[in-house]
């Protein structure tokens, strides 16, 4: 049933949301920036691929662990304050990476970038939860998420372009300019908001707040859904390029381009999210999103025609982000009294699920094949989407949603 359109956000809030989308782009782009650099870094530093891969692997580890510290910092000192300083710190770390004269310094700079940039996306979601009424929140989070989704594609593209033209260091110079530029605008916006330190959260211990959140049955179920979605969604997507290469004989560059359509589908969803949210509601978004992604995985994994993979990945990205955006909106409302910590726990669950999902998927390929792994992921996604949709519908009937 179509719900009435909510009122338009204030101009000041829309400006802040736009800045959050920009800084989320920077955070996600810097994650993917080194993906295409590894062969060049191996050549320049005369190191093995396994050694230079630390600029990616150790970044991911540091990024995931850092999620755990920012939730309570945001609740205590202000979410916008924390993400503003984190954006500026990311720019300085990126500058250090640009001038690294050996691999050890580059790895250290990348770890610093991970620790700083890890605050940006969860604190952006949490601040949106504080500043935007729930009726408008999922649509607003889709606007913030547009920057995140663009960053997935943009980071890989920038890294490859700079390696092939003026050199990999200039990619970090560009990221420095982007981080510091957006950080300066965020700082000016933060000063305009005039938020005093400590107004947003009670000075309660992190462990006490965490246990309080976990005592809530809905929070436990929701975090479990986040872990499973991370594994069956993001984790399974990581093996699709390999499947297309090994099963259909496509070049890795072609396979990578097809998988990139997943991100493009997500971008298209972000641009039309407003209309879908009002028409389908949260439970409908979760159900259609999960089933759509499941159908995409089944098509890519089981079809003998690789030509079906590009449209399937585009549709898969579109529908997957329907489900993911619904989870984001509910993450901001899982623990309103400690919103920063709640969103950070959600982000940690996604990261953990993705890491476990990649390992499990890779282990099962030798047993059931990559197509079988994707089919299994489809079943899991459809199941979790059904479960989440039922839970959301029950909460709406009980008056607990939002």
* Greater pLDDT, 2 or 251: 251
Q: Does 151 map to a domain?
A: yes
- Residue 143 confidence (pLDDT) above 90: no
Burial class (CB in 10 A: 0-12, 13-18, 19+), 147: buried
Q: Are 179 and 171 in contact (CB under 8 A)?
A: no
Q: How far apart are CA 339 and CA 343, in angstroms?
A: 6
Confirm whether 160 is domain-assigned: yes
- The reported pLDDT for the residue numbered 399 is 67
Residues 384-402: pLDDT tens digits?
A: 999 999 988 888 787 655 5
Task: Tell me, yes or no, whether 154 and 49 share the same domain.
Answer: yes
Q: Is the pLDDT of residue 121 over 60?
A: yes
The verdict on 230 and 148 lying in the same domain is: no
- Written as six digits, the tokens of 20 are 């959050």
In a domain, 3, yes or no: no
Q: What is the CA radius of gyration of the chain?
A: 21
Q: What pLDDT sits at residue 7?
A: 58
**One domain, residues 121 and 139:** yes
Please name which of 24, 262, 27, 263 lies closest in space to residue 140, comparing C-alpha atoms.
Answer: 24
Answer yes or no: do 183 and 236 share one domain: no
Same domain, 325 and 392: yes
- Shared domain for 228 and 340, answered yes or no, is yes
Place of tokens 């500058």: 95
- Count of domains forming the chain: 2
Domain ends where: 167, 200, 233? 200
* Same domain? 304 vs 378: yes
Number of neighbours of residue 31 by Cβ within 10 angstroms: 22
Q: What is the value of pTM for the model shown? A: 0.76
**Contact status, residue 292 vs residue 354, Cβ threshold 8 Å:** no
pLDDT tens profile 309-322: 999 999 998 998 89
Over the chain, what HEC string results? CCCCCCCCCCHHHHHHHHHHHHHHHHHHHHHHCCCCCHHHHHHHHCCCHHHHCHHHHHHHHHHHHHHHHHHHHHHHHCHHHHHHHHHHHHHHHHHHHHCCCCHHHHHHHHHHHHHHHCCHHHHHHHHHHHHCCHHHHHHHHHHHHHHHHHHHHHHHHHHHHHHHCCCCHHHHHHHHHHHHHHHHHHHHHHHHHCCCCCCCCCCCCHHHHHHHHHCCHHHHHHHHHHHHHHHHHHHHHCCHHHHHHHHHCCCHHHHHHHHHHHHHHHHHHHHHHHHHHHHHHHHHHHHHHHHHHHHHHHHHHHCCCHHHHHHHHHHHHHHHHHHHHHHHHHHCCCCHHHHHHHHHHHHHHHHHHHHHHHHHHHHHHHHHHHHHHHHHHHHHHHHHHHHHHHHHHHHHHCCCCC
Q: 321 lies in which domain range?
A: 204-402
Residue 82 belongs to domain with CATH number: 1.20.1250.20
User: For residue 36, what are its two tokens?
Assistant: 């295409």
Q: Are residues 67 and 138 in the same domain?
A: yes
Say yes or no to pLDDT of 252 above 70: no
- Is residue 2 one of the residues assigned to a domain? no
pLDDT at position 157? 72
Residues 187 and 236 in one domain: no
> Per residue in 28-59, pLDDT tens?
888 877 766 777 888 888 887 677 777 877 78
Pair (74, 109) in one structural domain: yes
Q: Are residues 374 and 285 in the same domain?
A: yes
Residues 95, 45, single domain; the answer is yes
Residue 377 lies in a domain: yes
What digits encode the pLDDT tens for the residues 338-356?
777 888 888 888 877 877 7
In a domain? residue 1: no
Task: Give the residue from 178, 200, 222 where a domain finishes.
Answer: 200
Which tops the pLDDT comparison, 159 or 244? 244
- pLDDT, greater one: 71 or 4: 71
Average pLDDT, the chain: 83
- Token duo for residue 292: 């759509």
Per-residue pLDDT at 200: 45
| Rounded-to-integer distance, Cα 262 and Cα 240, Å | 11
Last residue of a domain, one of 200, 217, 250: 200
């Amino acid at each position: 049933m179509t719900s009435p359109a909510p009122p338009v956000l204030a101009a000041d809030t829309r400006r802040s949301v736009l800045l959050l989308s920009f800084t989320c782009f920077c955070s996600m782009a810097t994650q993917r920036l080194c993906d295409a650099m590894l062969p060049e870094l191996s050549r320049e530093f005369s190191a093995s691929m396994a050694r230079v891969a630390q600029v990616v692997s150790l970044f991911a580890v540091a990024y995931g662990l850092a999620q755990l510290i920012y939730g309570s910092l945001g609740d205590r000192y202000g979410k916008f304050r924390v993400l503003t300083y984190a954006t500026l710190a990311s720019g300085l770390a990126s500058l250090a990476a640009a001038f690294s004269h050996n691999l050890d310094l580059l790895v250290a700079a990348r770890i610093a970038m991970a620790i700083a940039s890890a605050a940006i996306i969860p604190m952006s979601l949490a601040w949106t939860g504080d500043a935007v009424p729930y009726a408008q929140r999922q649509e607003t989070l889709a606007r913030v998420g547009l920057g995140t989704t663009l960053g997935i594609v943009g980071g890989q593209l920038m890294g490859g372009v700079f390696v092939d033209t003026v050199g990999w260091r200039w990619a970090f110079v560009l990221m420095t300019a982007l981080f510091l530029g957006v950080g300066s605008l965020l700082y000016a916006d933060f000063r305009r908001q005039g938020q005093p330190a400590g107004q947003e959260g009670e000075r309660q211990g992190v462990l006490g707040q965490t246990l309080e959140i976990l005592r809530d049955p809905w929070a436990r179920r929701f975090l479990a859904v986040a872990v499973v979605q991370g594994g069956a969604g993001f984790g399974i997507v990581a093996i699709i390029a390999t499947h297309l290469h090994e099963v259909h004989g496509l070049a890795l560059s072609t396979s990578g381009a097809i998988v990139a359509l997943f991100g493009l589908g997500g971008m298209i969803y972000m641009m039309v999210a407003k209309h879908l949210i009002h028409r389908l509601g949260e439970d409908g978004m979760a159900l259609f999103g999960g089933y759509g992604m499941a159908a995409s995985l089944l098509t890519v994994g089981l079809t003998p025609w690789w030509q079906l993979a590009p449209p399937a990945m585009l549709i898969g990205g579109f529908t997957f982000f329907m489900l993911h955006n619904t989870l984001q909106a509910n993450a901001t409302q899982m623990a309103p009294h400690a919103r920063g910590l709640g969103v950070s726990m959600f982000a940690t669950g996604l990261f953990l699920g993705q890491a476990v999902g990649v390992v499990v998927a890779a282990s099962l390929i030798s047993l059931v094949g990559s197509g079988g792994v994707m089919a299994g992921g489809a079943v899991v996604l459809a199941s979790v989407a059904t479960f989440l949709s039922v839970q959301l519908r029950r909460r709406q009937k009980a008056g607990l949603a939002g």
